[in-house]
Structure 1
Amino acid sequence: MGGNPPDQARSGAFTQSARVPVLDVNVTPLTRDQLLSSVATAIGGGRRLTIAGHNLHSVYLTRTDAQFRRFYEDAELRLIDGMPLLSALDLTALCGGRPRWGSRHRLGSTDWIPQVMHLPSVRRIVLFGASEASNRQAVQTLGERAEQTELLGIPADPWNPEDLDAVAAQIRAFGPQLLLIGMGMPLQERLAAALRACTSVAVIATVGGAIDQLSGTQSLAPRWIGRTGLEWAWRLASDPRRFAGRYLVEPFQLARLILRGAA
């Protein structure tokens, strides 16, 4: 496979890191089963694991936000959550005569959250983010799929920074194995770093709009659209006011930053 030789991630799971050419970021190309195995290994071994997802928006933020960039540098797993990144890896692999990574290495948050609840080691999960109504619905939806898993919902839209200590206290009292933070970039990454420092949760994952998607508040594109690389168009059409800047303006800003760095 393409990328660098496999190495032992801090989670203790056998993972493989790869550098995305041109975009110049490190990713951890994993299939869903490999990710679930990494989560189980971390929890079973009493280790800490931070899971982030990389797409063009996060790549742009790594170049414009130093705190955000440090979070991604420190995260043990950086999933591929965007077809442009996967395509860049595949092109490099083909040019080097190596097998392509393949679409199964593209993992959005909703591709693995429903399955992680069935891991025997995951007994308690916190869903942190979204509005009160959306969070409550997501907790109900996931709870119906895995009744043996206890869920705690902590709404966070709107977010008040003064609530951080109270949220941390709730999490410590609940004692989850998995904390899912869905608040959008870069706020969720800042909170993930803060909560990792003041709680003992084994696995913390930043999951963007996954809570809203699981609750049905935000439409979720069919997975076949994701495989074609056109999920951005689905999102843009479903909420143009929210996504116009990200998909129609930010890519050109990122290209300018890349060209400026190469000059």
Structure 2
Amino acid sequence: MKFGHHSAAVEINAPSRAALFRDLRARFAAGKGFALATLNLDHLTKLPRDPDFAAAYAAQDLVVADGRPVVWLSQLARQPVELMPGSDLILPLSELAAELALPVALFGSDTEALDAAAEVLQARVPGLRICHKAAPPMGFDPAGAEADAALQAIAQSGARLCFLALGAPKQERLAARGRRVAPGVGFVSIGAGLDFLAGHQRRAPKFMRMLALEWLWRALQSPARMVPRYARCFAILPGLTRDALRSRG
């Protein structure tokens, strides 16, 4: 399923969890790295306005659906994809890394959150080896020399899988750069996922997620930041709905 137009168009090329994990197992077995992004409506508002973000998305090897509106649009287009938020991928990917004895790196957020998230992950995933943790300074530039040094440190740690918790568009831009600087590492952009694990941010209760109301929870938690974001998201829905209907097979 493809969203957007021209240079800002993005295709969800991992439509199901089964397909995603088949691909990941093959990449890990071959010693290949990757960049994995989770597409949501907020990203779709940013892509046409940010050429660097669009270029970073074009460099992702794998794109999954993060957000029920993206899933609903795919169903409307008769090209259904599964919902796979980044936060929900952390544990199953960590379990896969433990099964295959692949070291894991955590990058982003802050030191306290990384330490707490690492403790939770290692308690919940027996055998998981976290070989590297690093929190970038304020103002971290995903396109600068500082980014290259961070990526080289991740690669030198022996990590084969790295969770990036920087938020969009920084994490996707860093993952795209990582494909060149650290080609043997799989980079997964997971936003606030490590903060949720650490307990530093509260995720919406499960019943709200089941009712597709996580956006409302987040808006109530941080209205000054989230209400304008969701207003932009709602504004693009009519056009995306029209595109989905036109693309019906």
Please report the TM-score for the alignment, with normalisation by the length of structure 2: 0.83
Q: Is the 8 A contact 2:31 2:184 kept in 1?
A: no
Structure 1 alignment gaps of length 5 or more: 1-17, 94-99
1:179 equivalent among 150, 162, 166: 162
Tell me how far apart the structure 2 counterparts of residues 121 and 223 of structure 1 sit (CA, whole Å).
30
1:43, CA displacement in angstroms?
Answer: 0.5
1:111 equivalent among 81, 88, 94: 88
Q: What residue in structure 2 maps to residue 133 of structure 1?
A: 112
1:84, CA displacement in angstroms?
Answer: 1.2
The one-letter amino acid of 1:88's match is L
Q: What residue in structure 1 maps to residue 40 of structure 2?
A: 55
Q: Is the 8 A contact 2:164 2:188 kept in 1?
A: yes
Identity in percent: 23
Deviation per CA, 1:69-95: give whole Å up to 9, x if none.
1222221211100111111111122xx
Aligned residues: 234
1:173, CA displacement in angstroms?
Answer: 1.9
The one-letter amino acid of 1:234's match is W
Q: What residue in structure 2 maps to residue 220 of structure 1?
A: 203
Q: Does 1:28 align with 2:8?
A: no
1:224, CA displacement in angstroms?
Answer: 4.2
1:122, CA displacement in angstroms?
Answer: 4.8
Worse-superposed segment, 82-91 or 145-154: 145-154
Question: Does the residue aligned with 2:77 lie in a helix, a strand or coil?
Answer: helix
Q: Is the 8 A contact 2:27 2:33 kept in 1?
A: yes
Structure 2 alignment gaps of length 5 or more: 244-249
Deviation per CA, 1:18-67: give whole Å up to 9, x if none.
22489964213533343233222111122232110111111111111111
Q: Is the 8 A contact 2:14 2:20 kept in 1?
A: no
1:256, CA displacement in angstroms?
Answer: 9.4
Q: What residue in structure 2 maps to residue 75 of structure 1?
A: 60
Q: What residue in structure 2 maps to residue 206 of structure 1?
A: 189
- Which structure would you say has the larger RCO, counting Cα contacts within 8 Å and 6 or more residues apart? 2
Q: Is the 8 A contact 2:17 2:84 kept in 1?
A: yes
The one-letter amino acid of 1:146's match is V
CA spacing shift, 1:21–1:65, aligned 2, 3 Å: closer
Deviation per CA, 1:130-176: give whole Å up to 9, x if none.
01111111111111122312112211252434632432232122111
CA-based RMSD of the aligned residues comes to 2.7
Worse-superposed segment, 165-174 or 43-52: 165-174
Q: Is the 8 A contact 1:51 1:78 kept in 2?
A: yes
